[in-house]
Amino acid sequence: MDSNFRQAILRAVDSEFDEQTNFLKELCRFPSVRGQEQAIQHFLADALRSRGYETDVWQIDAHELEHMPGFSPVLEPYAEALNVVGKKPTRTQMGRSLILNGHVDVVPAGPAFMWRNPPFEPYCEGGWMYGRGAGDMKAGLTCNLFALDALAALGFQPAADCFLQFVVEEECTG
């Protein structure tokens, strides 16, 4: 990769650091444990739409999946389980599409006394963000979204469609 191009990308990412951090904090405020993912999914769908992504939001239908290899028993109903996919179409289709996938669900916080601060009230200290889901995997979701933002800010467009997938159910069966 050309050194100037690399530096331009790094500057574009760094210039939005505060916005990225604030976005991640917003994600961490959602108590998106299994069965309570709808609010964060609507937030993410809105974030995609505001950036010009074609956005698809749908509810999981366990009956469509139960015959698939590796299907696990459903422990919680899927009434609140939404998946979100954003597609950033390109004007040209000269390469392979790219899918960036990550899950929004988090494991339960457990006993409150084990947390220095409330688990869904994220804070930064010593260069780290603390809060339920910050590392697994809401930071990854934020990075995926803002990496594509940085490329767009530089005027670059991928050679093929890019998809951002925000999915549920990773923390129990996937």
- Domain range holding 133? 3-167
Number of domains in the chain: 1
Q: Is 121 a catalytic residue?
A: no
Q: How many CA atoms lie within 13 A of 45 on its CB side?
A: 15
User: Whole-angstrom Cα distance, residue 7 to residue 138?
Assistant: 26
- Establish if 174 belongs to a structural domain: no
CATH code where residue 43 lies: 3.40.630.10
- Establish if 126 belongs to a structural domain: yes
Each residue's pLDDT tens digit, 103-117: 999 999 999 999 999
pLDDT above 80 for 89: yes
Q: What value does the mean pLDDT take over residues 45-49?
A: 99
What angle, rounded to 10 degrees, do the helices at 139-153 and 38-50 form? 10
- Establish if 173 belongs to a structural domain: no
Q: Which residue has the tokens 């339920």?
A: 132
Each residue's pLDDT tens digit, 16-46: 999 999 999 999 999 999 889 999 999 999 9
- Establish if 76 belongs to a structural domain: yes
- Establish if 42 belongs to a structural domain: yes
Give the three-class secondary structure for 88.
Answer: strand
Each residue's pLDDT tens digit, 1-20: 788 989 999 999 999 999 99
Each residue's pLDDT tens digit, 116-174: 999 999 999 999 999 999 999 999 999 999 999 999 999 988 889 999 999 998 766 65
Q: Is 171 a catalytic residue?
A: no
- Establish if 172 belongs to a structural domain: no
- Annotated catalytic residue within 37, 105, 169, 171: 105
- Annotated catalytic residue within 56, 80, 149, 170: 170
- Establish if 98 belongs to a structural domain: yes
